[in-house]
Each structure stands twice: as structure tokens, then as C-alpha cells.
């Protein structure tokens, strides 16, 4: 496993990072950065989800002006089985 400052290298569903997959991570504790309307969907995937921060920047790109940071625990399904259902939707 690659470590970054003593922590596991992050996995991401953003863009091409999605193709790198989960590297077998359990997903028992996940930090998610998402839109404000993501909470209900996240609660279907994890047993516990709470918002821990809100970032607002009117100068950012429109989709990045109001984002939330969530802490999720207890995935309802394995991260590996969830992975193909999340991530970029390219046409």
C-alpha cells in the first residue's frame, strides 16, 4: 500500500481516478467530499453519515462553490461491489 504522509493513499471516484479502483480498501471509514444534496444517497450506502464541514467559495467553479465534507462509517455493501455503481457518468 502506498502511504502519503503516513496515511493510505486516497481513492477517488472523480474523473480518471475512478479507474484506479479501491485497492481492496474496506470502506469502514470514508471521508467524502460532495454536493449538499448527496446526504440522502450516502445514507443508503452507509450505516452512519454525518456532515463534518461545509466549504463555500463564490470564486470557485460553480460545482465547487458550496461543497460538504461527510464522514461515513459502516458500508452497507463492500466498497468493491459499490465502486462500479459510483463515479463519473461519461456519455
Q: Please tell me the pTM assigned to this model.
A: 0.76
Helix (H, G, I), strand (E, B) or coil at 33: strand
Alpha carbons 84 and 49: distance in angstroms, whole number: 21
pLDDT averaged per 10 residues in sequence order, the chain, 91 residues: 66 76 83 85 92 94 90 90 76 55
Cα–Cα distance list, 1 to 9, 11, 27, 81 (Å): 8, 12, 15, 20
Q: Give the closest residue to 77 by CA, choosing from 38, 22, 37.
A: 22
Amino acid at each position: 500500500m502506498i502511504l502519503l504522509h503516513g496515511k493510505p493513499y486516497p481513492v477517488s471516484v472523480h474523473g480518471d481516478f475512478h479507474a484506479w479502483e479501491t485497492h481492496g480498501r474496506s470502506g469502514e471509514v470514508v471521508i467524502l467530499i460532495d454536493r449538499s444534496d448527496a446526504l440522502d444517497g450516502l445514507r443508503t450506502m452507509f450505516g452512519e453519515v454525518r456532515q463534518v464541514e461545509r466549504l463555500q467559495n463564490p470564486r470557485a467553479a460553480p460545482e465547487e462553490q458550496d461543497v460538504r465534507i461527510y464522514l461515513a462509517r459502516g458500508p452497507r455493501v463492500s466498497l468493491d461491489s459499490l465502486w462500479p455503481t459510483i463515479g463519473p457518468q461519461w456519455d
